[in-house]
Amino acid sequence: MQHLDIVDISARYGSHQVLRGISLGVDRGQITSLVGPSGSGKSTLLRVLVGLLPPETGHVSFDGQRIDYSNKKNVKAIRDRFAIVFQQYNLFQNMTALDNVTIAPIKIRKRNRAEVIDEAEELLAKVGLKEKMRSYPDQLSGGQQQRVAIARALALKPELLLLDEVTASLDPELVSEVLDSIRQLAAEGMTMIIVSHEMGFVREVSSTVAFMVDGKMVEVGSPADVFENPKEARTREFVNKILQH
């Protein structure tokens, strides 16, 4: 049985059909990377998984349990087990880095305040932001905000971590900081789905690479298969284009 099983998911924004029958399986402790051209629905798939966009058809199972996204209780339950890091970080602008990390564990999960703060400080130190705990998002660089967002997601102790283009808007120097944080998580056995354009990184950390175009899953395989020996013509075209630069 697969840890996460996505079966034939379709979703749309208004009249715009974004996902057209996506299927994908994810094993525990593995990293699955979603790659593909812009607008292929990679981010949308992550939004569907955390219940921000209800799917039209298809279903998702987690540890064999079917998630009904039209059921509030189901969505709540799944949001306790999944955490997402958004492409734009979406840090709460009215809170310090530390408050961003602690707000949900303290106020929503009602955990012990002192304990949560200890954990949060540890997490922020782990992503190299011990000195920036009292800073507000607009006092932080993009890379720092991104790492606060990762710490915030980790404070929720997710079983599945979704990372949306975590390095897309970062300086090259900052990219390595964020990627180091993710590598560390991978080493600790966190199950992750990553949307990324950093092909070198994707190749290095992923156990599975899923190539999407126009809301469809074109090819799923090991990084070696997808990058060196793609079966589909569309994948070959994409890989060649990327490897050119």
Positions touching other proteins (CB under 8 A) are: 47, 50-52, 76, 79-80, 83-84, 86, 88, 90-94, 103-104, 107-108, 136, 139, 152, 156
| Residue closer to other proteins, measured from CB, 147 or 239 | 147
Residue 232: CB minimum distance to other proteins, A: 33
Give the whole-angstrom CA distance, residue 68 versus residue 182: 30
| Residue closer to other proteins, measured from CB, 52 or 220 | 52
Give the whole-angstrom CA distance, residue 78 versus residue 244: 40
Concatenating the DSSP letter of every residue in the chain gives --SEEEEEEEEEETTEEEEEEEEEEE-TT-EEEEE-STTSSHHHHHHHHTTSS--SEEEEEETTEEE-TT-HHHHHHHHTTEEEE-TT----TTS-HHHHHHHIIIIIS---HHHHHHHHHHHHHHTT-GGGTT--GGGS-HHHHHHHHHHHHHTT--SEEEEESTTTTS-HHHHHHHHHHHHHHHHTT-EEEEE-S-HHHHHHH-SEEEEEETTEEEEEE-HHHHHHS-SSHHHHHHHHHHHT-
Residue 34: CB minimum distance to other proteins, A: 18
Residue 35: CB minimum distance to other proteins, A: 23
- Only one residue has tokens 């300086």, namely 171
| Residue closer to other proteins, measured from CB, 152 or 202 | 152
| Residue closer to other proteins, measured from CB, 103 or 199 | 103
Residue 90: CB minimum distance to other proteins, A: 4
Give the whole-angstrom CA distance, residue 152 versus residue 106: 12
Indicate the residue type of 202.
V
| Residue closer to other proteins, measured from CB, 43 or 167 | 43
| Residue closer to other proteins, measured from CB, 36 or 51 | 51
| Residue closer to other proteins, measured from CB, 66 or 76 | 76
Residue 47: CB minimum distance to other proteins, A: 8
Instruction: Kindly give the interhelix angle for 172-187 and 142-154, rounded to the nearest 10 degrees.
Output: 20
